Amino acid sequence: MSPARLGVALAIIVLALDQASKLWLMFGADIANRPPMTLAPFLEFVLVWNRGISYGLFQMPHAVGRWGLVIGSVIATVLLSVWLARARTRLLAAGLGLIIGGAVGNLIDRIYWGAVVDFVHFHVGDFSWYVFNVADAAIVFGVIALLYDSFFGAGASPKGADSP
């Protein structure tokens, strides 16, 4: 399988898993009308509407902000797709596919719901991690793959190669 096909396949898988999990929680489990669903002492499903970007930063409660984020997401997805089409390594393509799938999943939420549906909540004692979703996790793993590829992958320059 070519790197680009791998990236597209991962994007489709992430998008399908993300939207399926959100649809099941919203319509099957009716998470909006129930208390948090405890799965383990450190893990629960709870509905959080994210009107900002990653980790709830830059909340955009108004329509202008919402549609600005939609336009930004579309532009980012197009640029990442062009990069994916040119990818020469499977790791780079996989990372881009994860990011694209996650971005499109959250983009669909923003268009349909007006905000991103976040629901996974990890917590231990007083420590509480941000509430996130499948798309967010895919984006994080995609960025990790891009960083790894940048520093250690086939395209990384050998140690000291830039030194005179």
Write the DSSP assignment of the chain as a string of letters.
Answer: --HHHHHHHHHHHHHHHHHHHHHIIIIIS-GGGS--EEEETTEEEEEEEE-SSGGG-S---SHHHHHHHHHHHHHHHHHHHHHHHH--SHHHHHHHHHHHHHHHHHHHHHHHTSSEEEEEEEEETTEEPPPB-HHHHHHHHHHHHHHHHHHHSTTSPPTTTT--
| From 118, 126, 149, 162, the catalytic residue | 118
| From 109, 136, 149, 162, the catalytic residue | 136
Is 118 in the active site? yes
Is 162 in the active site? no
Q: Which residues are catalytic?
A: 118, 136
